[in-house]
Amino acid sequence: MKTLTEYMALAAQSHGHMCPGQVLGIRLAMLGLKSLGIDDLSKYRKRLVTFVEIDRCATDAVSLVTGCRLGKRSLKFLDFGKVAATFVDVQTNRAVRVVARDDAREKARGMFPELAEPHQQQLAAYQRMDDADLFILQPVRVKLAAEDLPGRPRSRVACEECGEGINDGRERRVDGRVLCRHCAGESYYEKVTSDE
């Protein structure tokens, strides 16, 4: 594993800037991996699955440190709005959840009162604070279905309404028909016609 400084340089380059969220994400991932006994990621590439609970800067940093990616199906996003991640060794079924302590912001203010901006206080403090002052670490159990594991799709079917392919059991069965989530009424988008 790299050092915090090395990860910060890589994170600033890949994310486009360095911020408190990036530092939290890096440290959060480093702590999670350490708690699982993972120090050489090359041995764990196909064994590690990470769940992130927020779509903010910290998630990019977690992905950078762990090597987990959405496209590799090893990074799972659950929109809980929390600076938290769960790290799962799928071979041993060991998992830990690491969440950023909300009181760390106040501690950062106390550590660096001479810095005017809370952003600057947090950026400086999050690099130096003890893990226990920054995070809550909790062993957890995560049940992963086979269709949620990294690797090739376990199944593929076509929607009987629109004809689009659906991987890994994400289809819905409605009135005896196999439908994609959109055609089953669970869509996040609305189709428009060329007249609109």
pLDDT in tens, 93-106: 999 999 999 999 99
Pairing of strands 94-100, 135-140: antiparallel
pLDDT at 11 (0 to 100): 94
pLDDT at 132 (0 to 100): 97
pLDDT at 178 (0 to 100): 96
pLDDT at 147 (0 to 100): 87
Q: Cα(162)–Cα(177) distance, rounded to whole angstroms?
A: 12
pLDDT at 18 (0 to 100): 92
pLDDT at 39 (0 to 100): 87
The topology (CATH level 3) of 4-146 is 60s Ribosomal Protein L30; Chain: A; (3.30.1330)
**Has residue 196 got a pLDDT over 80?**
no
Do 58 and 50 contact (CB within 8 A), yes or no? no
Helix %, strand %, coil % for the chain, to 5? 35, 20, 45
pLDDT at 190 (0 to 100): 87
Do 87 and 70 contact (CB within 8 A), yes or no? no
Q: Cα(38)–Cα(76) distance, rounded to whole angstroms?
A: 19
pLDDT in tens, 20-73: 999 999 999 999 999 999 988 888 888 999 999 999 999 999 999 999 999 999
- DSSP per-residue codes, 70-85: TTTT-EEE----SSEE
pLDDT at 76 (0 to 100): 96
Phi, psi of 75 (to 5 degrees): -115, 125
pLDDT in tens, 110-154: 999 999 899 999 999 999 999 999 999 999 999 998 888 888 888
Q: In b/e form, how buried is each residue of 71-110, taking b as 16+ CB within 10 angstroms?
A: eebbbbeeeeebbbbbbbbbeeebbbbbbbbeebeebbee
pLDDT at 42 (0 to 100): 84
Residue 34, both tokens: 């350490």
pLDDT higher at 194 or 93: 93
**Has residue 164 got a pLDDT over 90?**
yes
Tell if the pTM clears 0.85, that is, is over it.
yes
Domain boundaries, the chain: 4-146, 152-196
**Has residue 195 got a pLDDT over 80?**
no
pLDDT at 79 (0 to 100): 95
